[in-house]
Structure 1
Amino acid sequence: MDTSPTALFDSYEQDFQQFILTIGEKLEGDGKDERAEQRKTTLRRVEMELDEADEMVSQMEIEIQGIPQSVRAQYHTRLRTAKSELARYKKLMNDVRTQLARADLLSSSSPQYNSDDPYGSNSDRTRLLAGTALLEDGTKRLQDSHRIALETEDQGAEILMNLRGQREQIENSRNTLQRADMSIDRASNTLKKMIRRMYQQRVVTAAIIIVLVLLIGIIIWEKLS
């Protein structure tokens, strides 16, 4: 099992490329010639695959924080490329969905010309314009939602970077405290040794004094006797 700092990033990127390849085939390949109902089913699958690809990009963004600084720049470039591809296919899917909705609207509201009803074609045109306006409004809302999602994603990445920096600071502080604790332990041991030697010296000094006193006493006793 590869345990290098870039292994998970490479794995997520490979999964992302597989999703993008499948999405591209469905949106730009033979899938664009499908009938309306088949096309709707394909778009639902594409939407799920885009969500999976988006998740892969989020994982890549998380993993890039643990990559060494010496090679992180090139992985940032690969991440930006992945984000660009994802955004392009999301826009393409929205465009395809809008085109499909317009085609459905046109097919369901085909004009019925009647010589006895001169206002019939104008009414159909009005409904068509209203439907087109609703579709454009929906597309605009989808684009706004996509923009907000991207901004939220950027903010999340920034928060993760800040949290990583704070974690590194906490780890550095903990290491400093550990080193200080070790220094205090060494100093305490040194003081204990000094105190023990001091007591030993006091005992030796007391013994010498006692011996001297005894010698002096013996000498005086011999002289007096």
Structure 2
Amino acid sequence: MDAPGGSELFESYEQDFEAIKVSISERLNASGGQSGEVKKQTLRSADREIDEANEIVQQMEMELLNLPQASRTRLQARMRSYKADLERLKQTLKRAQSTSRSTADRDELLGGINGGVDLDAASMDQRTRLLNGTDRLAESSRRLQDSHKIALETEALGAGILTDLRVQREQIIHTRNTLLEADSNIDKASRTLKGMARRMATNKMITAAIIIVLVFLILFVLYRKLFG
């Protein structure tokens, strides 16, 4: 279900990105006051979180493709801002790593112990975040598959409708041709009936004339016999 600014999943990615961006910034700032193995461990943790942030950005881009055009256009500016923030964090990490390689500290061993504890906690946190990210990626993939399935079903439905329309068009054309043929036959029958009616009228007139002539002849013969 779409939220006012986009989608709930997209906003969830935004919250995760903001949270991990704060964590990365804190680690990078903390590394400025550290040295030796402690600093290396902090920078390695920041590097892993940057990889996770990069993955979140990729998931956000995938989710952006599922949004309506209006929401997508509105969120693209925010996406560019997130990418710019991520790029700045990468550059800051590179500078910190370059500085870390050129320094050494005599308290490196103790720092390594404490850093190991931090690394274990960071690893668990990283694993949890990666699992959550994997679940979200699977959800996005499922939604894409559902969208693809709906598109295929819609295409098949459209093809079926077009086939039905084609059959109905052929039936209508056949019916129209049948009606035209019937109309032509009716016209022929009407002309035939009119001709027959005219012939019958003519025959009646001829018959009547013959009867009249015969009656006159009979009357004439009788008149001759009686008065001749």
Q: Based on CA coordinates, which of the two structures has the bigger radius of gyration? A: 2
Matched, 1:91 2:73: no
Q: Which amino acid aligns with 1:82?
A: Y
Distance 1:45 1:54 in 2: 14
- CA RMSD, aligned part only? 3.7
SS of residue in 2 equivalent to 1:103? coil
**Shift in alpha-carbon separation, 1:198–1:73, aligned structure 2, 3 A:** closer
SS in 1 for 2:102: helix
Structure 2: distance between partners of 1:190 and 1:40: 81
Quote the residue 2:14 is aligned against. Answer: 13
Give TM-score, length-normalised by structure 2: 0.51
Distance 2:23 2:101 in 1: 23
Identify the range of structure 1 (189-198 vs 65-74) with the bigger mean alpha-carbon deviation.
65-74
TM superposition shift of 1:17:
0.9
1:5·1:66 contact (CA, 8 Å) conserved in 2?
no
2:221 alignment partner in structure 1: none
Deviations 1:25-76 (A, max 9, x none): 21114x5545532332332222121112112223334444565565656523
Instruction: Write the mapping of 1:52-131 to structure 2, written as runs, cut at 5 A.
Output: 52-64=52-64, 74-104=74-104
The answer on whether the counterparts of 1:27 and 1:93 sit within 8 Å (CA) in structure 2 is yes
Amino acid at match of 2:189: A
What TM-score comes out, normalization by structure 1 length? 0.52
The aligned residue for residue 210 of structure 1 is 192
How far does the alpha carbon of each residue in 1:136-155 deviate from its partner, in whole angstroms, 9 at most, with x for none?
xxxxxxxxxxxxxxxxxxxx
> Quick check: 1:9–1:64 contact (8 Å CA) kept in 2?
yes
8 A contact 2:13–2:56 mirrored in 1:
yes
Flag structure 1 segments of 5+ consecutive residues without an equivalent: 108-173
Q: How does 1:134-145 map to 2 (within 5 A)?
A: none
Q: Partner of 2:54: helix, strand, or coil?
A: helix
- The one-letter amino acid of 1:20's match is K
Distance 1:74 1:213 in 2: 82
The separation in 2 between residues aligned to 1:66 and 1:4, in whole angstroms, is 15
> In the aligned structure 1, how far is the partner of 2:3 from the partner of 2:183?
59
Contact 2:17/2:53, CA 8 A, preserved across alignment: yes
Q: Could you tell me which residue of structure 1 aligns to residue 50 of structure 2?
A: 50
* Matched residues, number: 152
TM superposition shift of 1:206: 2.1
Deviation track 1:68-103 (CA, whole Å, cap 9, x = no partner) reads 565656523322221221112111111221121111
Cα distance change of structure 1 residues 199 and 82 upon mapping to structure 2, 3 Å threshold: same
Amino acid at match of 1:102: S
Q: Go from structure 1 to structure 2 and tell me whether the alpha carbon gap of 1:81 and 1:96 turns closer, same or farther (over 3 Å shift).
A: same
Highest RCO, 1 vs 2 (Cα 8 Å, sep ≥ 6) = 2
Amino acid at match of 1:51: D
5+ unaligned residues in a row in structure 2: which ranges? 107-154, 208-228
The alignment status of 1:23 with 2:5, answered yes or no, reads no
Percent identity of paired positions between Structure 1 and Structure 2: 25
